[in-house]
Amino acid sequence: MAKMNLLQAINNALITAMTDDERVMVFGEDVGHFGGVFRATSNLQEKFGRGRCFNTPLTEQGIIGFANGLASQGSVPVAEIQFGDYIFPAFDQIVNETAKWRYRSGGQFSCGTLTIRTPYGGGIAGGHYHSQSPEAYFAHTPGLKIVIPRNPYQAKGLLLASIRDDNPVLFMEPKRLYRASVGEVPEEDYELPLGKAEVVSEGSDITLLAWGAQMEIIEKAAEMAQNDGISCEIIDLRSILPWDVETVCASVMKTGRLLINHEAPLTGGFASEVAATVQERCFLHLESPITRVCGLDTPYPLAHEKEYMPDHLKTYEAIKRCVNF
């Protein structure tokens, strides 16, 4: 085991994957000698050469179009989009080509070896073009997988599983945890399952569900609720697509209550999909309405970042409302 932050765990996963399989290549804006804007790809070019880690022009649709071609011809591309906010020029490539290439070719071709890495989320005073959480846009796309880690251990295991999965994966990294989240990570190769949530701690009164950086928020709120005698079950969804309906519903049937927290705006956020599915499957077990604690329906505001964020205090108040309904 070695102590790593989230960035170091991602870098270690990329080194592991590139060492294990010479078809793996990493590319994107500034990922080469510079090591990426956050240094997630540090030293990869020195270790593996310019043919396997290289810079691209500043064109997101070009990066993903190029990656689609590589994947369909047998390479294992790991494409970096420098910020999740700038993934939208590549939206057509991801939604209409990456996700559909296997289907439209009748299984003759596939982009299944493609992994797209991108940092997402706020909390770094990045303003409205460096703080967005766009996971829900892509969750509406059959043919993709969407994975979001909460800490360094999860990041390495989930990224290695994503690179080796036979489906294209959008791997979204919570950038405010890049250096803030530190933990013990195995130095050897390991994978964690995609599409499987994790019950982080068990409880009896309410289920709290989140992913990525919001996990530490709901954990802090759960500590506050514990002081009021409220027992919270905490679940990390980990995969947005496909998401683990069985684990979440089993928990809600036990606790009778559900609170979902995400940083993206409330309207049309992925919490809506979870809430609709859970009420359909668990309706007779619910003791109170399903609660969503999410970002505001505004562009991400630099001056009012604290007011925008669905923090532990908003979550704690929502837990109390839900339990006392």
Active-site residues, by number, are: 60, 130
Cβ atoms of 118 and 80 closer than 8 Å: yes
* CA distance to 27, 61, 178, 234, 313, per residue, from 124 (Å): 25, 26, 11, 25, 19
> How far, in Å, CA of 99 to CA of 167, rounded?
8
> How far, in Å, CA of 202 to CA of 232, rounded?
7
Q: 19 Cβ partners below 8 Å, 6+ apart? A: none
Pairing of strands 53-55, 2-5: unpaired
Cβ atoms of 149 and 155 closer than 8 Å: yes
E strand or H helix at 147: strand 145-147
* CA distance to 250, 252, 254, 269, per residue, from 202 (Å): 12, 12, 10, 26
Q: 135 Cβ partners below 8 Å, 6+ apart? A: 120, 146, 148, 170, 172, 240, 264, 270
